[in-house]
Each structure stands twice: as structure tokens, then as C-alpha cells.
Structure 1
Amino acid sequence: MRKRMYIPKNYLLLLAGFIWLLAGINILNIGYQSTSVLTLWMMLATILTFLVFYFAIFRKLIHKHTNRILRYAHAYMHILQFFDRKSYIIMFCMMSGGILLRKSNVWPTVCIKSFYTGIGLALCISGLCFIKQFYHQQLSFTNK
């Protein structure tokens, strides 16, 4: 029964892609629903948030996890191994912090909208990058 939880290691990239994409869509939805107000400053803040999170954090994680997964010695890996322990801890802290920030009403909804929309876009793009990595691995496997 435990074997069902293992998949070919390159499919972890596809799984990670879908999970990041779904998380991004969920965060985008929260940002979108937070307020109907949309200003130039909010759009600029959204773009800045996207740039910081994607280029400073998520892009590095995509490469780190892709390399870690592909270096793994076994052909099959547990489905939860698309992240390492440190990344699960960071994810838990980010989710908890985001929920607390939103529920505490410390930030105005216009800030929530631009922050969540920027992070959501960065997560969606990152998910697509994982899927692209999977696709490239499939191509290189079939060309061998």
C-alpha cells in the first residue's frame, strides 16, 4: 500500500508545478476578493511584490528543488518529497503569517489586494516553471 505514495522522480516536478499553480490561484483569488478598489499605486505595488517574490525567492527555489529531485539516486520518490523539510517549515510560516496578517486587520484591504495578488502571480509563474522543467525532463528522457 505504501508504494502508491511513490511516483517517478521527474513527476515530482509536475506535482510541484500543479501545487504551486493551485496555491497561486488561491492567493490571487483572496487578493482579488479583498477589495474592488484598483489604483495605479496598487498595480505598481503588485508588480513590485511579484518581482521581489519571484526573482528573489521563488525562482531560486525552483532551481534548488529541481536539482535536488533530479539528483536523487532512486527512480521513485515519495509524493511529499517535492519539498525538503526546510521548505515545508517556510511554507507553514508564510501561510500562518499571511492568515494572521489578513485576519488581524492590521493592513488595509488595498494593501492586502496588491500583496496577495503579487505573491499569487509569482506562485502561478513558479508553478508553470516547474511544469516546464517536467516537460524538459520528458523531452530529454525521450531523446536518449
Structure 2
Amino acid sequence: MIKKNSLLFLAGLVWSIAGYNVLNIGYQAYKENVSIILVALSVTIFLLFKNKIFGNMVEKHTKRITEYRNDKQWFWKFFDIKSFAIMAFMMSFGIIVRVNNLAPESFIAFFYTGLGSALLFSGLKFISNYLRINFVRYAH
């Protein structure tokens, strides 16, 4: 078991690693597919996922974690069941698409770059929340 506020750091670490890996796949696909249109699509995907999906999840999980009554929690409690299911689906779908060549490299380039950037940004937001909560707690 770990301190509940450490779950925020763990979530940030997991999301940041996942984001970096997805971003790297997109970056590698960009090597042969650079264009203004794809960059604009990457930015659009980033903003969509950051603002409409991951941003809400970061706030929801931060609130849930900080409201745990017990200070010690199991390490897997950084996510709820629904979020683990979403993560498993996204990873499985992404692997199936890439392994079976179901999408062109240009799609992988813009979509994975935007998605990976949003995941990485959200992971850093979890870590920022962890630092903010712990800094405020110890500053008083």
C-alpha cells in the first residue's frame, strides 16, 4: 500500500510513459509524412483529447484520489475499473491497427502525435497536482 497522494504521482508516471511511447510512434511515422495539414491535424487531435477527454479524467481521478478516506491505498487505485478498461481498449485497438496495417502511416503520424502529446501533457498534470497538493500540505 502507498500514501493516497502518491497515487497522483504514479498516475502521472504511467500516463507520461504511455504518452511518450505513443508520441514516439507518431514521431517516427512523421519522418516520411511531414506536411502542414498533418501538423494541423496533430494539433487538433491534441486539443480535442487534452480538453475534452484526458483533462476531465485527470480532474476526476485527482478528486477521487484526494477524497479517499484512508491515507494508505493499493497502488492500482490510481485508476478506477472504467479507466483501466478504457486504457486496455485503447492499447489493444492501437496495436491491432498498427500490426495489421489498418491505417496509413500519415494517419499514424498525426493521430499518434496528437494523442501521445495529450497523454504526456495529462501525465505531467497529474504530477503537477501531486506536487501542488504535497507542497501546500507541507507549506502550512
TM-score, length-scaled by structure 2: 0.96
Q: Residues 18 and 116 of structure 2 are in contact (CA less than 8 Å); yes or no, is this contact kept in structure 1? A: yes
Aligned to 1:32: 27
Provide the alpha-carbon RMSD of the alignment. Answer: 0.9
* Equivalenced residues, count: 139
Identity in percent: 41
Alignment of 1:57-72 (within 5 A): 57-72=53-68
Aligned to 2:12: 17
What residue ranges of structure 2 are gaps of 5+ in the alignment? none
Give distance in 1, aligned partners of 2:75 and 2:115: 25
Moved over 3 A (4+): none
Q: Letter of the aligned partner of 1:19 in structure 2?
A: V
What residue ranges of structure 1 are gaps of 5+ in the alignment? 1-5
SS class of match (1:63): helix
Q: Letter of the aligned partner of 1:21 in structure 2?
A: S
Give distance in 2, aligned partners of 1:100 and 1:41: 25
TM-score, length-scaled by structure 1: 0.93
Give distance in 2, aligned partners of 1:139 and 1:29: 32
SS class of match (2:59): helix
Give distance in 2, aligned partners of 1:122 and 1:84: 20
Aligned to 2:74: 78
Displacement after TM superposition at 1:104 (Å): 2.1
Q: Which moved more, 1:31-40 or 1:53-62?
A: 31-40
1:90 aligns with 2:97: no
SS class of match (2:115): helix
